[in-house]
Every structure is written in C-alpha cells, then in structure tokens.
Amino acid sequence: MAAVAARELRDGEVVFVGIGLPNLACNLARRTHAPRLVLIYESGAIGAVPERLPVSIGDPALVTGSSMVCGMADVFQSILQSGRIEVGFLGGAQVDRYGNINTTVVGSYERPAVRLPGSGGAAEIAIHARRLLIVSKLSLRAFPERVDFITSPGQRHDGVPRSRLGMPGAGPVKVITDKAILEADEATGEMVLAALYPRVDDADVRREVGWSLRRRPRLGRVEPPSATEVRLLREVLDPRRLYLKG
Amino acid sequence: MAAVAARELRDGEVVFVGIGLPNLACNLARRTHAPRLVLIYESGAIGAVPERLPVSIGDPALVTGSSMVCGMADVFQSILQSGRIEVGFLGGAQVDRYGNINTTVVGSYERPAVRLPGSGGAAEIAIHARRLLIVSKLSLRAFPERVDFITSPGQRHDGVPRSRLGMPGAGPVKVITDKAILEADEATGEMVLAALYPRVDDADVRREVGWSLRRRPRLGRVEPPSATEVRLLREVLDPRRLYLKG
Amino acid sequence: MRDAVARFVHDGDTVVIEGFTHLICFAAGHEIIRQGRRNLTLARLTPDLIYDQMIAAGCARKLTFSWAGNPGVGSLHAFRRAVEGKGAAPLEIEEYSHFGMVARFSAGAARLPFWPLRNYMGTDLPRVNPRIRTVTCPYTGEQLATVPALNPEVTIVHAQRADAEGNTQIWGLLGVQKEAAFASQRVIVVVEELVDQSVIRSDPNRTVIPGMIVHGVVVEPWGAHPSYVQGYYDRDNDFYLAWEPISRDPDKLARYLDEFIYAVPDRAAYVRKQPGLAARLRAGERFSSGVNYGF
Amino acid sequence: MRDAVARFVHDGDTVVIEGFTHLICFAAGHEIIRQGRRNLTLARLTPDLIYDQMIAAGCARKLTFSWAGNPGVGSLHAFRRAVEGKGAAPLEIEEYSHFGMVARFSAGAARLPFWPLRNYMGTDLPRVNPRIRTVTCPYTGEQLATVPALNPEVTIVHAQRADAEGNTQIWGLLGVQKEAAFASQRVIVVVEELVDQSVIRSDPNRTVIPGMIVHGVVVEPWGAHPSYVQGYYDRDNDFYLAWEPISRDPDKLARYLDEFIYAVPDRAAYVRKQPGLAARLRAGERFSSGVNYGF
C-alpha cells in the first residue's frame, strides 16, 4: 500500500503527512519520483527531512534540518484552512460508501463498544486538503455501508454533496487498500472500484465491502512495487518493520 | 511633564509605552523608583532596556537586550486585549471634558482642515489599559469642550459611561499637563482640576480649558522635578533634547 | 515542584499540561498524582500517557481533548476503560478536533469568548458536542463554526530554559504552549535549565512566554521524560511501547503508579531509579549558529 | 527587483509593503514608482515615507492604514495634501486602528472572511468606516467588533535572509510580516543575503515565511534604507528628519523623486549615490549564541 500511495504524489506538491503508512509513502515518493515534495506535519514541522523513521508525528527528527517550525495555530489556520495543502492522507477504522471516515467510536457515542482516539487533525484535513487519499486495509468491518460516527467527512452527508455544505477541498478522491483502489464517482460521490492489484479479482474485493460496490467500466491494474521501491521501504525507510508487516 | 508622569508609575507595573514624553517618563521611572517596571512597546518589544533614546517606537535599540520580541498580533490580542497592560500613556491634539482624545482630524472627517496621523494603537490602548494617563500641554485649542473626532474613548460617550459601553479598562484617570493635573471625577466622569504646579493658580488653568472646569475641594501641589530627575532627563535620557524643550 | 503544585493546583481546577509530543511535563503530572488532587478537568489536545496516568490515579472528573491514543502504539487504556464504562469511576468527556482545541486556546489567550473557524460541516462532532456552534459572517453572510474560549485555572508548560523572572525560551515543536500559557489564569513554567537573564536577552526572538504572565518557575532536569526535549534528550519510545501492556492491565498500572510515582519523593529520585536514561536518550549535538542583534 | 515588480505588481492591484519601522522595503517602492504603476490600493499599518513617496509619484488611488505620520518627526505631507484636498489627485482612504489592521491581516492569513476583536466602542471610527461592524457571540450574547479580511494581490516583505526556495528568516521586530505574507495571493521576499538552505535548516524556528507561499526572492542589500535591518544597518533617522521639509514642498519632493528614484536604474546605484551610508549606519555586533537541535 505504501508504494501504491507514493505514486499518487506529484513532484513539488505540498502534503500533509500523517504517521505510519502515509509517512512511509511520502518519504518513498521523496526518494523516487518526487524529490521536491514538501512534507508538512500537523505538529508544525515544514519541509521535514527525517533522518530516521518518525515513530510519532511529533518526532524530534522531523524538526532537525527542516526548513521551518511553527506553532499549531499557524499550521491549522494559515496553512490548512488557507487552502495551501494539496494532498491530505487519512486512515480510519471505518470508511463508508461515500468516503466518510470514522476514527471516534464503534457503537454509540455515549456507550461505545470501542472508544477510538478521535479526530486529531483528521476532520479539518478531510474538509480542507485540496484532495484526500484514504489508506486502509480492506475488510467487511472496516468498509461498512455507513460508518457509526462521521469523524472526517467524505463526498456526501445524508445525501448532500460536500460542496453544498461549504467544504473547500475535493474530499476523498481515492481509497488505497491492500487489494484494490477505489475512486470517488464524480456524479454520485460513491466510492467505486477503479483498479485491482495483481492476482485479485472483482469478487475478492466485493466480499470485503459492506455495500453494493459499483465499478468503473474499465478497471486499471495496480503495478506491483518495483525492486527499488521494495528496497527503499525495507532497507532504508523502515528497516525495523515498524509499519511494514509481512 | 516627564518627571510628573514618571511618578505615576509603580514599581513592577506593566506599561504600554508610547514614543516621546511617555518613553522618557517610563525610562526615568525605571532609573529612579521603579527599577522593575516592564516596558512594552506596540512594535513587539517586551522588557525593553533601550541603550539610547528611541526616536521611534520601532527603534532597534528596543530589541537588543529585551526579554522578548513578538509579532504585533500577539501584542494586541494576547497582551493588550487580554487585560495585561496596567498603564497606558497617550497624548493627543485634542482632549475633551470627558477625556476623549482626538488624533485623527481637525474639522470634519471628510474635508479636514488638518489631517492628523490617526489612531495607531491609541483607540485600543484607551479601551483596554487598566488605567490610562494622558499627557498633553495645556491650551484652549488642545482642550475643547468636545473633540472634533473621538479617536480614543474617555470616560463618557454621548453621556453613556464607558463601563456601560463594554470597555474593560478604567480609562483616563489623570491628565498630566504642563501647569496642572486633572483627574476623572468618579461620579460624573468629568476631568476636574486636582493639582497645580508651583507658581500656577486656578485661573491660569481655567483660561486654557474650553469647558467650565470643576475642581477638587482640596487641590494638590505638584512637586517640581528633583535635581536627580532633571539630571537623568537632561544628561542621560535625552541629552540631544529630542523631546525635552527648554 | 512540590511547592508549585501545592500552591497553584487546587482540587476542581481545570488543569492544562500542554506540549505536542515534545515538552510534556510528566514531572508535574506525577506530583499532582502524589499530592492526590481530585475532580480536575484535564484539558490538552492529546491526553497521552500523562493523562492516562492521572485518570488511572483518580485525579480527573472530566477530560477535554482532540486525540486520545498512544501515538504509533495503540490505546490509552485507563481512558478507554473510563469512557467504555469499565473503569472505577465515570469520566465526563468534551471532544473537539485538533483545530478546535487550538482555536479554543487562541480565543482564551486573546480573552475573546469564541473563535471562528471553517470546520465541522459534514461531521458528527457538533451533534455530540453542543459547545461547537456557528456564527454568521457580517460581511459575506456565510455560516462559520465556532468554539468557546478555554481559560484554564492553571497551565503547566515544560521548556528548554527560562530566567528567574520566567521569560521562557522554546525551540523545536511549539505546539500550543504559547496560547495555553496566555489563556491561563496561573502559569507554571518547568525548565531543564535556569539561565541568567543575559542568555534570554541575547536572543529575545527565541522567547515564547514572557515572565509577566508566569507565576512560578521550577527547574526540573529530565522533567519531560518519557516525552522529550529537543537538544536535551530524545523521546523514550521504548517506554511508550511498554505502556501498552501496563495500561491494558489495571493491576499492572496500579503497580506502576506505586513504584514510579507514589514511592518516589520527586523527579530526581525518579531519574535515579532508571540509571540508563542519560546513556540511552541524551541528545546529540546539532548547534545552530548565532545571529546579529546589533544596530 | 525589476523583473519581480514587472511580473508580480500590476496596475490596480492592492499592494502591501509591510514592516513596522523595521524592514520596510524602500527598494520595492522605488521600483514600483520607476515602472509607473497606477491605481494601486496601498495598504499598511504605517504608510511611512515609502507610501508618501508613492502617493506623490501618482501610484495610489486608495490608502488603507492605521497611523499616517513621520514617527517622532511630523507629517507625511504628500498624504496630507491629498486628504486635505490640496494635492494633484484625490486619494480615497480606509482607516482602522493598528489592532484593526493586524486583525485584517490575521483574517486574511487564515482565509476567514472576518476577525473578531473587542474594540471601537465609544470611538468615531465605525461611523466613518462602515466596514467596521459587529458580531454577536454565540456563547455570551455580547457584541464584538469585526473587521473584514485583507487579502492583497501582492505583498512585499523585506527580511534578513532567505534560501533560494524562499524560506525566510527574520529577527528583531516582526510587525505583521508573517500575517501579510500568508494573506497575500502573491509574495515577493526581498533579502539582504541569499543563504544556502543549510543555513535556514540549521535553525528552523527562526523561519517566519515558508518558501511554499513565496513567488519571488530578490537579493537587494541596503534595500530597506532609510528603514533598517536588525544586525545589518541602523535606521537613517537623519533622513526621516530631512523628509519633513522635502515632503512639505511639492517641488522639492518632485526633485527628490527625480534624483533618487527616476534617475537611478536600481538599488545599487541608489546606494552608490550616498557613499557615506555604510560608515554611518552599518550595524555593530551583538551576536546571540546557538542552540542545540540535536536529539
């Protein structure tokens, strides 16, 4: 998933980087096709060039050698709210038909079965980033028809498109999973099947999605990670396998 | 006036310092009875210890050796609006019966006879400083019954007391002139005669004030500058007589 | 630290120990636990291990926050047990996003009653938090979200250095240290090093918190561990990993509190109990050069 | 500078050359005059000598400001003639206080349509400026003043140093340089020194403006004279005094523009015309020491 996500980034773009896989993807892109990618962390590090894989979004390695450190009021007001983030990355415990994301609770808010961490910066990233990439492993539990709680808004809320709700960014344009890539359909706002990984078919994906998944007329093929991508990920970026499993 | 104004400052107070006489008064107080006075300039210098008399409120000597420099958004929001300035100092082309100050226009706003600089930080200093000292030379032109334009509000506006208008600070409590000290009357909000300089009488002051000036039942006597005050002002603080005339 | 907490932190207060990953003052949290404060409203963006410990110790009545997890590791289990109804005591929560919490501190620092932000449309947060409201722009007519000011009774800020008057310098991640301090009625600054005022005054642009708003300065080396201090010591990521099994098991958690908080009198004793800290975490050297303040 | 002004500053634009006493980019103002820009809306807190010169040269249609004087000296006479109806051309004005202008830039930087502030009650400013309005707090019901966002087409910021990507470092007085840059559609940074990015990256907390919002970087030593640059040269207070009689007399002012602006091709020539500058104004040395960014 990290290698697939990395390919979605264009050189010179300004990316709001989350921890974990998104961080791996951004640093991989910076070392392959996008050396001028500007990495911004919500902790306030801009133009970070981490010498080690940051364990948290506030790792000291994000500060040392970065081009600017600013307070979080500047990050959220003058950088994110001002529309300067071109790409946002989010994961989520649940992702639904319209790309709404839940990282707050499983079950009811008042008596949750599982209490998750909550929004952090996710709600505002989903609202303001010019385009949003969701990264999440495919499973029936993670892809319900409707999330239990909307932490970060997707393409529609109760049938109303996001632009009508006043959201500046384009919202989730792609969902990158471990088996396929889904894309937002321009007309309906639904996440539809757009491309398959090697040795995965249509039915493998449908089995793990909780709604009747539509598909693009012509499906793309996701290229497997190249030897360079694999080497960089395993040997340089995450040699201790903090985020890469298997 | 500088020496008289300096005596109004208590040790340890936080003072918002204007340029010219207020700056002289603050630095005199710091070198006499109030060594722990905290000088804050609207330009963002906090705890300034200027090695030379600053010609402007943005002089580099206010920065070098100060305890903090911050942006002007912090100065106005987190320091002034938050109620942390204990004393403000303002001058003005016109000061009226209720301590309203005009530094904007003589004549009408649309076709002014004389266009003055405007508010700068004066309006908000008059609104937020916990108490305000006005420093102005006495003259009929400078002390009209009603100013042509209210740049910085005094004790009353169209008869309404400032507290009813939602102003946090106590407003102008004293007007320090070159002949007398006026004080705000607690009941009426009017500036009334409170103390006279040596060799000045009641009538000398009334002659230069454009309203029927009331007086405290018992008038104070303003002590002339001491030898130390005169020496500090003339030899140390303003040897080139930028602000001290005569 | 003992005197500062005794004097400035009272039962029932809203208490903020801020710091975004960087500069989280565990020394202050531990002392509050030791002194047995109760019914606190704890507020910070990321409760982190420090509030998980304070919740487990029974200090908190309420938590105001925006992201409650162990970053890169997992859950804060004492927090989860309380919220999922499995804890010893109930815990009221008031929840925002990071931007919302930042805006609450900004409003508090400016002493405005609210802060406007373009946010929350399409999310369920305003449904479960009625303090997220809207205001109509007097120029464009559009609706914007608002959050209310947060003005805690006491804020504790960890920093690299300060002078005796409390003029405080921070570098590396700044989080909302400045806004939280300005928003607070009382401010305690905890520093790695107390320096002469000439050090502060030689680089005034580095000062983040002015002494005029500081009520107490405490010198406490290693006071942020297992959090970190740029230029002094690294984050103890191993401890953050170790917290997962400790906090998952209420008995283990109680034993941790006993051994590392109740049984030690102060921070110096806490550091002595862990002799490898300096060797393992002491920061390397990456000095910046100076700039000219002359005129 | 010639290319940057030609490319980024257009007739009819709202132009901001900020800097509070410190870092006022006269080099940019002079180049705009030389290139004969017209119908500009000039905005800054303190018009200072730079906008007095631009008004005299006929560049401005409108002025947005909060304090229009020659600090410690007297008036800006070209401005006064225009406003008092004695100038060659009318000048529209839009007037705030400093706090109001700061709030306008803050709103612009955050891309909010307005900013709330507790201000203006009891003053005549809202009477003459209908863009100062009010909003009702959704929590307390109280009325607060508002000002509208200011989002200029182009902002020019002078600074001590930047790297080639526009990451810009400033120390000494910061004014509203950061807010004005973030509020602007286009940003030109003018620096005393272009430095390698390793210099910037060795002290990232010193960076005030990130390269990602900068459109052009111009290297122009002495570009702020007669304003000043902390650590590089002092303010030319003698010139500010000399401006009073020049600006008071329209003929003298025209001759000044001819000699020091129209007759010189660029800033280097302007500096060569005044051979004593460095000897008179070069800054002394008061270096800060470095801090450790290691981990």
Q: In sequence order, what DSSP letters do the residues of B19-58 get, joined into one string?
A: SSHHHHHHHHHHHTT-TT-EEEETTSEES---SS--SSTT
The domain ranges of chain B are 2-237
Residue A34 corresponds to which tokens in the numbers above?
């996008």
Q: Domain range spanning residue D130? A: 114-148
Q: Give D79's contacts in chain B (Cβ within 8 Å).
A: 115
Give me the CATH code for the A2-237 domain, please.
3.40.1080.10
Confidence (pLDDT) at A55: 84
Other CB atoms within a 10 A radius of the CB of residue C73 amount to 17
Please check whether residue D68 lies inside any domain of the structure: yes
Assess whether D123 and D172 both reside in one domain. no
- Interface test mutation site (partner C, options D120, D150, D235, D292, max chain C beta carbons within 10 A): D292
Bridge partners (DSSP) of residue B167 are none
Assess whether D91 and D176 both reside in one domain. yes
Confidence (pLDDT) at B245: 67
Q: Give B49's contacts in chain C (Cβ within 8 Å).
A: 201
pLDDT, tens digit, 9 for 90 and up, residues D108-132: 999 999 999 999 999 999 999 999 9
Reported as a pLDDT band with limits 50, 70 and 90, residue D89 is: confident
Radius of gyration of chain A (CA): 17
D112 touches chain A (CB under 8 A): yes
CB D175 within 8 A of CB D20: yes
Q: What are phi and psi of D28, to 5 degrees?
A: -70, -45
pLDDT, tens digit, 9 for 90 and up, residues B9-43: 999 999 998 777 888 899 899 999 999 999 999 99
Q: Per-residue pLDDT tens, chain B, 246 aa: give them.
A: 899 999 999 999 999 987 778 888 998 999 999 999 999 999 999 999 988 888 888 999 999 999 999 999 999 999 999 999 999 999 889 999 999 999 999 999 999 999 999 999 999 999 999 999 999 999 999 999 999 999 999 999 999 999 999 999 999 999 999 999 999 999 999 999 999 999 999 999 999 999 999 999 999 999 999 999 999 999 988 888 878 764
Assess whether D135 and D220 both reside in one domain. no
The helix (run of H) or strand (run of E) holding residue B16 is strand B14-17
Q: Where are the alpha helices (DSSP H) in chain A?
A: 2-6, 21-31, 72-74, 122-128, 202-206, 227-231
Kindly list the averaged pLDDT for each block of 10 residues, start to end, along chain C of length 295: 98 98 98 98 98 98 97 94 90 98 98 98 98 98 98 98 98 98 98 98 98 98 98 97 97 98 98 95 97 97
CATH of the domain at D43: 3.40.1080.10
Please check whether residue C224 lies inside any domain of the structure: yes
- Produce one character per residue of C153-176: b if its CB has 16 or more CB atoms within 10 Å, e if not: bbbbbbbbbbbebbbbbbbbbbbb
Q: How big is the A-D interface in CB pairs under 8 Å? A: 65
Assess whether D196 and D78 both reside in one domain. yes
Assess whether D124 and D56 both reside in one domain. no
Q: How far is A49 from chain D (nearest CA, A)?
A: 10
Bridge partners (DSSP) of residue C74 are C70
Task: Name the residue among B50, A67, B59, D234 with its Cα closest to residue C292.
Answer: D234
Reported as a pLDDT band with limits 50, 70 and 90, residue D103 is: very high
Confidence (pLDDT) at C177: 98
Those residues whose C-beta lies under 8 Å from the C-beta of residue A3, and which sit 6 or more positions away, are A25, A28, A225, A226, A229, A230, A233
Name the residue among A60, A65, A81 with its Cβ closest to that of D111. Answer: A81
* DSSP string for chain C: -HHHHHHH--TT-EEEE--SSBS--HHHHHHHHHTT--SEEEE-S--HHHHHHHHHTT-EEEEEES--SBTTTB--HHHHHHHTT-SSS--EEEE--HHHHHHHHHHHHHT-SEEEES--TT-SHHHH-TT-EEEE-TTT--EEEEEE----SEEEEEEEEE-TT--EE--S--TTHHHHHHH-SEEEEEEEEE--HHHHHTSGGGEEE-GGG-SEEEE-TTTTTTSBBTTTB---HHHHHHHHHHHHSHHHHHHHHIIIIIT-SSHHHHHHT-TTHHHHHB----BPPP-B---
Assess whether D137 and D6 both reside in one domain. no
Name the residue among D111, D200, D205 with its Cβ closest to that of A82. Answer: D111
CB B100 within 8 A of CB B147: yes
Residues of A classed as catalytic: 42
User: Of the listed B8, B42, B208, B229, which one is catalytic?
Assistant: B42
Cα–Cα distance for residue pair B152/C213, rounded to 1 Å = 27
C224 touches chain A (CB under 8 A): no
Assess whether C170 and C36 both reside in one domain. yes
Are C97 and A111 in contact (CB < 8 Å)? no
- Interface test mutation site (partner A, options D112, D115, D212, max chain A beta carbons within 10 A): D212
Q: How far is CA C103 from CA A40, A74, B239, C113, D209, in A?
A: 20, 11, 48, 11, 21
Confidence (pLDDT) at A246: 47
Q: How big is the C-D interface in CB pairs under 8 Å? A: 148
Assess whether D232 and D137 both reside in one domain. no
Name the residue among D102, D174, D234 with its Cβ closest to that of B69. Answer: D174
Peptide linkage before B239 cis (omega within 30 of 0): no
CB C91 within 8 A of CB C83: yes
pLDDT, tens digit, 9 for 90 and up, residues A44-102: 999 999 888 888 889 999 999 999 999 999 999 999 999 999 999 998 899 999 999 99
- Domain tally, chain D: 2
- Interface test mutation site (partner C, options B36, B63, B67, max chain C beta carbons within 10 A): B67
Other CB atoms within a 10 A radius of the CB of residue A196 amount to 19
How many residues are listed for chain C in this entry? 295
ipTM comes to: 0.97
Rounded to the nearest integer, the mean pLDDT of chain B is 94
Please check whether residue D108 lies inside any domain of the structure: no
Q: Give B72's contacts in chain D (Cβ within 8 Å).
A: 20, 45, 98, 102, 174-176
D272 touches chain A (CB under 8 A): no
C205 touches chain B (CB under 8 A): yes
Which residues in chain A land under pLDDT 70?
A: 245-246
Q: How big is the B-D interface in CB pairs under 8 Å? A: 174
Q: Give A51's contacts in chain D (Cβ within 8 Å).
A: none
Cα–Cα distance for residue pair C195/C160, rounded to 1 Å = 10
Task: Name the residue among C214, B42, C237 with its Cα closest to residue D175.
Answer: B42
Chain D, residues 218-247, CB within 8 A of chain C, namely 228, 230-232, 234
Please check whether residue D289 lies inside any domain of the structure: no
Other CB atoms within a 10 A radius of the CB of residue C12 amount to 12
Confidence (pLDDT) at B246: 47
Task: Name the residue among C155, C152, C159, C153 with its Cα closest to residue C227.
Answer: C159
Q: How far is D218 from chain A (nearest CA, A)?
A: 19
Are D212 and A84 in contact (CB < 8 Å)? yes
The helix (run of H) or strand (run of E) holding residue B227 is helix B227-231
D141 touches chain C (CB under 8 A): no
Burial tier of D18 (Cβ tally within 10 Å: 0-12, 13-18, 19+): buried
CB D226 within 8 A of CB D235: yes
First-last CA distance in chain D: 41
Assess whether D53 and D84 both reside in one domain. yes
Those residues whose C-beta lies under 8 Å from the C-beta of residue A41, and which sit 6 or more positions away, are A16, A17, A48, A57, A58, A62
Assess whether C138 and C193 both reside in one domain. no
Q: How far is A103 from chain C (nearest CA, A)?
A: 10
Cα–Cα distance for residue pair B208/B138, rounded to 1 Å = 6
Are C232 and D171 in contact (CB < 8 Å)? no
Please check whether residue C162 lies inside any domain of the structure: yes
Q: How far is D35 from chain C (nearest CA, A)?
A: 32
Please check whether residue D32 lies inside any domain of the structure: yes
Name the residue among C114, C131, C294 with its Cβ closest to that of D283. Answer: C294
Assess whether D271 and D132 both reside in one domain. no
Which chains sit next to A, with 3 or more Cβ pairs under 8 A? C, D
Name the residue among C110, C202, C212 with its Cβ closest to that of B81. Answer: C110
Are A65 and D295 in contact (CB < 8 Å)? no
First-last CA distance in chain C: 41
Please check whether residue C291 lies inside any domain of the structure: no
Q: Give D295's contacts in chain C (Cβ within 8 Å).
A: 228, 230-231, 234, 283-284, 286
Are A56 and C71 in contact (CB < 8 Å)? yes
Confidence (pLDDT) at A245: 67
Assess whether C267 and C187 both reside in one domain. yes
Please check whether residue D13 lies inside any domain of the structure: yes
Q: How far is B208 from chain D (nearest CA, A)?
A: 24
Residue C84 corresponds to which tokens in the numbers above?
């999922």
Catalytic, B42? Answer yes
Q: Give D234's contacts in chain B (Cβ within 8 Å).
A: 60
Task: Name the residue among D223, D115, D259 with its Cα closest to residue D176.
Answer: D115
Residue B91 corresponds to which tokens in the numbers above?
């001058």
Task: With a cut of 60, say whether residue D87 has pLDDT above it.
Answer: yes
